[in-house]
Amino acid sequence: MGRDDKYVLIALGGNAFQTKGEVGTTENYWKNAYRAAETIVKVVKEGYRVAVTHGNGPQVGVILEWMERSKDRIPPLAMDIAGAMTQGWLGYLLMQSIYNTLIKEGIKDHVKGVVAIVNQVLVSKEDPAWQNPTKYVGSYYNTEEEAKKVAKEKGWVIKKDPRGGYRRVVPSPNPTENIEVGAVRKLIDEGWIVIASGGGGIPVIREDDGTLKGVEAVIDKDLAGEVLATNLQVGTFVILTDVDGAYLNFRKPNQKKLDVVTVSELERYYDEGHFKAGSMGPKVLAAIRFIKHGGKRAIIGHLRDGYRVVKGESGTIVVPD
């Protein structure tokens, strides 16, 4: 594929499916998926070859809650299976929305088609994250007594959630390899729009005999997106979210938006703690890694301006030194 600016990976944030204030109805999901599809199709219309990745935080939470509420009748499944379920669910929404938008715009013949892949992402058994689970998932428990009882029964780690109540926490290990990247690359080269690495990918470890095994963990979607973008050797990695870029001193009187920034400048700001973990922090780290791994441009911007972000007319643009 090569580092070609006409090959782009677009990472969609959670607002691509469910925006603030929405309860997550089927209608909500389709409306937002079509909004994301409009951006992607505009990019395709410009001659770009596109891979798409997306978040799944709210949706995997919904599935875990379904499992918890029905546990007396249906045995709950493991988190890696829940992650795979969201890849099918959200992949379908995007796949159909993009396909129909291509037809509506009269450019269906520009591509072979749209395909979503159930995609595994490798993490290390030695990752220190296993010793310090930090990602809150699943149901809320109201009292410490109830939380301790569930933790003992299931062997979970449960902590007090800053947003209230108690919740299970799982590790968030660093992604190292996209298992199905060869298939993704081949499909894009042949003219398909590919949806992959949804929700950060299904987390798997490699056993000593080379086999893969799913694990109870959450991979950060932006860091996994960088791994896919780097593995694909795309020129441009775009992260679309619900803010218009990365800011220094965000939401303070002296906040300052970064427009064009070199990777070494951004790394210095990252080390100084300007970007919060769990929000802009992983996006900035993913952008830094992409450029340091040989990428040409990484851009962080708002989903509503997605087309202009890909064109480099909006957002925070990260470039090599």
152 and 39 together in one domain:
no
- Please say which residue of 142, 170, 198 terminates a domain: 170
Read off the pLDDT of residues 141-163 as tens digits, 9 standing for 90 and up.
Answer: 999 999 999 999 889 999 999 88
> How confident is the model at residue 6, as a pLDDT?
87
Active site annotation includes 283: yes
Which residue among 235, 283, 301, 306 is the active-site one?
283
Structure tokens given for 126: 């030695």
The domain that holds 43 is classified in CATH as: 3.40.1160.10
Catalytic residue among 13, 15, 57, 119: 15
- 245 and 278 co-located in one domain: yes
pLDDT tens digits, 104-120: 999 999 899 999 999 99
Q: Which of 42, 135, 292, 296 is catalytic?
A: 135
Whether residue 221 lies in the annotated active site: yes
Of the listed 138, 198, 201, 221, which one is catalytic?
221
Looking at residue 321, the DSSP 8-state letter turns out to be: -
Cα–Cα distance between 39 and 37 in angstroms, integer?
5
Rounded to an integer, the average pLDDT of 67-76 is 92
Q: Which residues pair with 298 in a beta bridge?
A: 237, 318
Residues 315, 263 share a domain: yes
The helix/strand/coil state of 295 is: coil
Instruction: Give the pLDDT confidence score for residue 15 in this predicted structure.
Output: 67
pLDDT digits (tens, 9 = 90+) for 177-197: 999 999 999 999 999 999 999
Say yes or no: 27 and 69 in one domain: yes
* CB-based burial label for 213 (10 Å; 0-12, 13-18, 19+): exposed
Are 102 and 232 in a shared domain? yes
Three-state DSSP class for 242?
Answer: coil
178 is catalytic: no
65 pLDDT above the threshold of 60: yes
**More confident of the two residues 128 and 154:** 128
Residue 15 dihedral angles phi and psi, to the nearest 5°: -70, 0
Same domain for 155 and 33, yes or no, is no
* DSSP 8-state class, residue 134: -
Is residue 291's pLDDT more than 80?
yes
Same domain, 90 and 145: no
The reply to whether 45 belongs to the active site is no
Range of the domain at 155: 133-170
User: Catalytic: 249?
Assistant: no
Q: Does one domain contain both 138 and 237?
A: no
Q: Over the Cα atoms of the chain, what is R_g?
A: 19
| Region 218-226 average pLDDT | 96
Which of 149, 170, 191 is the C-terminal boundary of a domain? 170
Side chain identity at residue 25, one-letter code: T
Angstrom distance (rounded) from CA 143 to CA 314: 46
Same domain, 40 and 97: yes
**Span 83-103, average pLDDT:** 97
pLDDT tens digits, 25-47 = 999 999 999 999 999 999 999 99
